[in-house]
Amino acid sequence: MKPIITSSEYMSESTGQRPPVLLDIRWQLGGPDGRADYEAGHIPGAVYVDLDTELAGPAGGGGRHPLPDPEAFGAVMRRAGVGGATPVVVYDGGQGWAAARAWWLLRWAGHQDVRVLDGGLAGWPGELTTTVPEPAEGDFRPQPGGLGLLDADAAAGLARSGLLLDARAAERYRGDVEPIDRVGGHIPGAVSAPTTENVDDKGYFLPAPSLASRFAELGAEAGTEVGVYCGSGVSGAHQVLALELAGHRAALYAGSWSEWSSDESRPVAAGPNPS
C-alpha cells in the first residue's frame, strides 16, 4: 500500500464504506504542543495526538523521543478510535515529520493500513472545524516488529556494512552547528541525506522516480541494507517513508543523534565526508 494519500483521495474515502480514522499530529521542535492550533481549527473528524507525550516515552537515555511503551501507545490509539483493521490517515501542519512519526509507530506496531496526508494541513483545500470528535473505542493492539528498528550498536554496524543515512540538515551533519545536542557531527560512516530534500517547495513528496534517483545517488541499491537516523527519531521517520515510496524498506535508529551523542564513549565524525 502506498504510504501517502492526497487530500482528494482522503475526501473520497471519508464518505465511503470504510472511512479512515484521522489523526492530527501538529508539532514543532522546541515549541508548545499543537493542541491550541488543533482547537482553533482542524480537518473535520480529526483526533489530536501529542507527539511529545503520546508518540514518545520520557526523554532520557534513549534520546529526546524514545519509543513509547507499546501498551501505552496502544491505549492512545484505541482512545483515538484506531482499530486493528481500521484505515488510518495522519497529518500535521505541513512539514510531514510529525505525521511520519505517527505513521512509522503504527506500522512498527503492526498496523497495516496507515497513510500520511501529503502536504498536510497546509495543503488541505476543505473547511476546518473546531468540533472535537468523540470516537468509539478502537481495538488496536500493538505487535511491535512491523518495521525495522536499530539500536546504537546496530546503527554503527550498518554504517560499515550497508548504508546509514543521516536525515538532519547538512550543517548539523558536518558539525558546523549543533543547536540541540551535546556535540555536533555524525555517526562515522553515515551519509548525509537531509529530509528536506524529499519534498518540493510546498511540502509535497517528490514523485517516486525522483526519490528513487535521489537515494540511488546516495548508495541505496537493490540488496543494500538501509538505515536512517536524525536528531531524535522524528524527521528520520519521514526519510523511512520517502525510502518506501522509492522502493526501499529501511530501518530507523529511533534514539538517533540525541542518544548517540549523549554517550561520550561513542565516536563522532565531523566534516562533509562519511568517515
Q: Provide the annotated active-site residues.
A: 230
Cα distance between residue 81 and residue 83, in whole Å: 6
For 147-206, the three-class secondary structure string (H helix, E strand, C coil) is CCEECHHHHHHHHHHCEEEECCCHHHHHCCCCCCCCCCCECCCCEECCHHHHECCCCCEC
Please, are residues 83 and 140 in contact by the beta-carbon 8 Å criterion?
yes
- Taking residue 143's Cβ as centre, other Cβ atoms within 10 Å add up to 13
- Stretch (H or E) spanning 90: strand 88-91
Buried b (16+ CB within 10 A) or exposed e, 29-39: beeebbeebbe
**Could you tell me whether strands 250-253 and 191-192 are parallel, antiparallel, or unpaired per DSSP bridges?**
unpaired
Strand partners, 149: 252
CA 105 to chain centre: 8
